[in-house]
C-alpha cells in the first residue's frame, strides 16, 4: 500500500498570504497525484491532477508542483473563499489520501 503523509495538519493564514501544503508518498507516484478542496457539508472539489495540471475553472492562484514522492500545493495569494480543508490523493496504485490540511483564519 502507498502511504501519504500530508503536512501541516492546520495552517493559520491571512488573506493575501502565500501558503504551501506538502504531501509525501511512500513510493514513487509517477506524478499521479491530485489535490482537492473541501468545505464542510459540501462536495470535495478537484483542484489539480497529474501533480501540476490545473482543473478547468480553478483560479490560477492555485498551483501544484513536485515529482516522485514529494508534492506541494501552493496558493499564491489566499482569498476569503480559500479557507477550507485541502487533501491530496495518489492514484498511482489504487487510491490513498493525505490526512488533510485545514487552512483557517489567523
Residues at the site binding other proteins, with contacts judged by CB under 8 A: 6, 32, 34, 36, 41-46, 49, 55, 87, 89, 91, 94-100
Q: How far is the CB of 97 from other proteins (least distance, A)?
A: 4
Smallest distance from other proteins to CB 16, Å:
29
Nearer to other proteins, 18 or 48 (CB): 48
CB nearer to other proteins: pick between 35 and 82: 35
Gap between the Cα atoms of 84 and 63, Å rounded: 16
DSSP secondary structure letter of residue 40? T
Whether residue 33 contacts residue 89, with contact meaning beta carbons closer than 8 Å, is answered with: yes
Biggest CA–CA distance in the chain, Å, is 38
Amino acid at each position: 500500500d502507498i502511504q501519504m503523509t500530508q503536512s501541516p495538519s492546520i495552517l493559520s493564514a491571512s488573506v493575501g498570504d502565500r501558503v504551501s501544503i506538502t504531501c509525501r508518498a511512500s513510493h514513487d507516484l509517477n506524478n499521479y497525484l491530485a489535490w482537492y478542496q473541501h468545505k464542510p457539508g459540501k462536495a470535495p472539489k478537484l483542484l489539480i491532477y497529474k501533480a501540476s495540471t490545473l482543473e478547468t475553472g480553478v483560479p490560477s492562484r492555485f498551483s501544484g508542483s513536485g515529482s516522485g514522492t514529494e508534492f506541494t500545493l501552493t496558493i499564491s495569494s489566499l482569498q476569503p473563499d480559500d479557507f477550507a480543508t485541502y487533501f491530496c490523493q495518489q492514484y498511482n496504485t489504487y487510491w490513498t489520501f493525505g490526512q488533510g490540511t485545514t487552512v483557517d483564519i489567523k
